[in-house]
Every structure is written in C-alpha cells, then in structure tokens.
Amino acid sequence: MNELIKVVEAESSVRRQALPDFKAGDDINVHVKIKEGSKERIQQFQGTVIQRKNASTNGETFTVRKVSSGVGVERIFPLLSPNIDKIEVVRQGVVRRARLYYLRGKQGRAAKVKEKRT
Amino acid sequence: MLGIIGKKIGMITLYDGAGDSIPCTVIEGGPCVVTQIKTLATDGYLAVQLGYADKKVKNTSKPLQGHFEKAGSAPKRRLVEFRNFAESLDVKLGQIIRLEDIFKVGEYVDAIGTSKGKGFQGVVKRHGFSGVGDRTHGQHNRERAPGSIGGASYPARVFKGTRMAGRTGGQRVKVANLKVLKIIPEDNLIVINGAVPGPKNTYIILEK
C-alpha cells in the first residue's frame, strides 16, 4: 500500500490496538452501541467469526455468524467503527482456512469449530 | 479562483461521529510554484500559472527552461493557469504555494481530472440507456441495443449529436462540492469526501 495512505490511516492505529486479536474460527462477543432516539444502549452479538476482510486498512470488516432459534444470522461489522464499544474473545478456535463459508451449510455438531488447546 | 495542482494517491475509509463510514480520496496537493503572473497590461487578462512535480532539465525544451528560469524554479511537469487567482491571495513570481495557504478543513472544493479510459463502449455504459430489458419475448440477441436512432422517411437522416456507442472515458471531468475533511501539511496531503476522476497517480486540479 502507498506510504502516504498509511500516514492518513495512522491515527486509527490507537483504536486498532485497543481491540483484541481475533481471527476466523474464534467465538467473540461484540458490544455494539445502538441509538434509539436520543437514548443510547449497548447490544451484544455473540457468535463465530467467519472472515475478516480488507485487513490492515481503515475499511476492515469482520463477519460474525450465530444460529439464533434455528436460523443462521450473520452480521458484518466495520472493525474501526466508533459504534463498536468493545470486543471480547470468548473462545479461540482451530481452523485451516481464513474464510469459513463451509459453516453456512452445516447445523448442530457439524457446525462446531474445534477449540484451541493452550 | 484559488486552486492547486496535485496527485491522486488513493481512497480510504473514515468514520464520522455517528459511526457512518465515509469514502474519502487522499490527494497530494502541491507544493506548487508560481511560474508566471499574467496581467491585464501584458496578456489582456488576470491569471496565475502554477507548476507542480519536478522533471529533469535535460527533458525540458530550451524555451521552457527559460520560462522556468524567470521564476527561479526547477522545471515542472505540469503547468496550470488559474484565472483571477491573485484577487484573493497575493503572490510573487517564484513563490511556493502550499495546501494550507489555500484550503481549510470544512470547505468545499472542486476536483478536476481525466477520467479512466474505458475504450469503445455501448450505449448502456456510455449514456446510461436502460437496454431492452428482457431476454425473451422475441428479443433474440439485442439486450443492450440502442433501439431506433431516428425516422426513416422524415427526417431520413440521423441528427447530429445522437447518442451512440463509442470511445468512453479519458475525458476531463470536474466533480463539484467535495468537502475537505483533513489536511496534513507535513506531507502535503489533503483528504476530501467522495471520489475524484481518474486512476491513482493522476494529476488533479483542486479549486475553490
């Protein structure tokens, strides 16, 4: 990437460092700020990270998938968005690829990612 | 009209307070040198000529070398004239103009550049025709055809300027009212909201 673009994006590095390291296969809990009229509240979205896109740019996003009452739900978050209050890593997974699209067709035990032993 | 010559660096994302992502273009603007000041007495109109991006002396023609020597500057690759520049900013020959002399954060600027060349294109891409709109009902192979281009017995000719297929892009395009979001004077960088014509590393004229 162009060096001059890095100069402009440099200020986001502070925010980036405040976030934990996570990658595809990890279970995370995202705390999202939601505005309702003038009130602001925090909503949580817990699930498995299935991909991170546009890594190391300001526009980086990640996709979290969970199965909610039998229906698969995926949400895409911009990593550096000020609406993300915090991210907790709940469980680290072991996967062999960066994009876990194969989870979409699976249910129950087959859709489970192996946990990383530390 | 105040302005500066620059180079498109690329596009990035910024986030505003509400969490909306804003598409932005990063432009390296200046520093530019005043290479000529045109006056009513000598040229019949008021303008200031700015130069941007160094080039080698050996690649500069002798007449141009003399032109740059008058301003006491190194030869420049790109020369652009701005009408009525000196009205709002006092300039001297050979003076160096920087981004922060001209633009402030929050202002609206116009960007002029050469759009990306797209080659010979049909009317759907070139003029935004909607195409035939159906694959079946007897359309055979004319999904993106332009349709009729005029009457056969009257006027029995095609009007000049009728929109047809042809070379697309590679033209001078001006995009108006782009907001200045950020200025980084140390690196001569300006970040503006929205897109700017042309590929990366193309020359861009910013004016306000």
Distance of CA A78 to the CA centre of its chain: 8
Closest Cα to residue B21, out of A43, A7, A10, A77?
A77
Q: What pLDDT, on a 0 to 100 scale, did the predictor assign at position A61?
A: 92
Q: Where in chain B is the domain with CATH 2.40.30.10?
A: 3-119+172-207
Asked whether the beta carbons of residue A81 and residue B21 sit closer than 8 angstroms, the reply is yes
**Quick one: closest CA in B to A9, which residue?**
B12
What pLDDT digit, counting tens, does each position of B190-199 carry? 999 999 999 9
**Quick one: closest CA in A to B22, which residue?**
A59
User: ipTM for the complex?
Assistant: 0.77
Q: How far is A58 from chain B (nearest CA, A)?
A: 5
Q: What pLDDT, on a 0 to 100 scale, did the predictor assign at position A1?
A: 64
Alpha-helical segments (H) within chain A? 3-9, 12-18
Q: How far is B53 from chain A (nearest CA, A)?
A: 16
pTM for this one?
0.82
Query: What fold, for B3-119+172-207?
Result: Elongation Factor Tu (Ef-tu); domain 3 (2.40.30)
Q: Which residues does A contribute to its contact with B (CB < 8 Å)? A: 1-2, 4-5, 7-9, 33, 35, 57-59, 78, 80-83
Q: How far is A20 from chain B (nearest CA, A)?
A: 20
Set of chain A residues whose Cβ sits within 8 Å of the Cβ of B191 = 8
Q: What pLDDT, on a 0 to 100 scale, did the predictor assign at position B109?
A: 93
E runs forming strands in chain B: 3-15, 21-29, 32-38, 47-54, 76-83, 96-97, 108-114, 119-121, 166-168, 172-184, 189-193, 203-207
Asked whether the beta carbons of residue A78 and residue B10 sit closer than 8 angstroms, the reply is no
Asked whether the beta carbons of residue A57 and residue B184 sit closer than 8 angstroms, the reply is no
Q: What pLDDT, on a 0 to 100 scale, did the predictor assign at position A44?
A: 92
- Answer for the pair B142, B136: CB distance below 8 angstroms, yes or no: no
Weakly modelled stretches of chain B, pLDDT under 70: none
b or e along B74-107 (b: 16 or more beta carbons within 10 Å of the residue's beta carbon)?
A: ebbeebbebeebbeeeeeeeebebebebbbeeee
**Which residue has 């498109």 as its token pair?**
B8
What are the pLDDT tens digits along chain A (118 aa)? 678 888 888 888 888 888 898 989 899 999 998 888 888 899 999 999 999 998 888 888 999 999 888 888 999 999 988 888 889 999 888 999 999 999 888 887 777 888 888 7
**Quick one: closest CA in B to A6, which residue?**
B12
DSSP, collapsed to helix, strand or coil, labels residue B172 as strand
What pLDDT digit, counting tens, does each position of B25-55 carry? 999 987 889 988 888 888 888 888 999 988 8
- Answer for the pair B7, B207: CB distance below 8 angstroms, yes or no: no
> In whole angstroms, what is the distance from residue B78 CA to residue B63 CA?
15
Q: What pLDDT, on a 0 to 100 scale, did the predictor assign at position B20?
A: 87
Residues with Cβ < 8 Å from B163, sequence gap 6 or more? B123, B126, B127, B129, B146
- Strand A114-115 and strand A71-78: the pairing is unpaired
Quick one: chain B helix, strand, coil %, rounded to 5? 15, 40, 45
Asked whether the beta carbons of residue B12 and residue A58 sit closer than 8 angstroms, the reply is yes
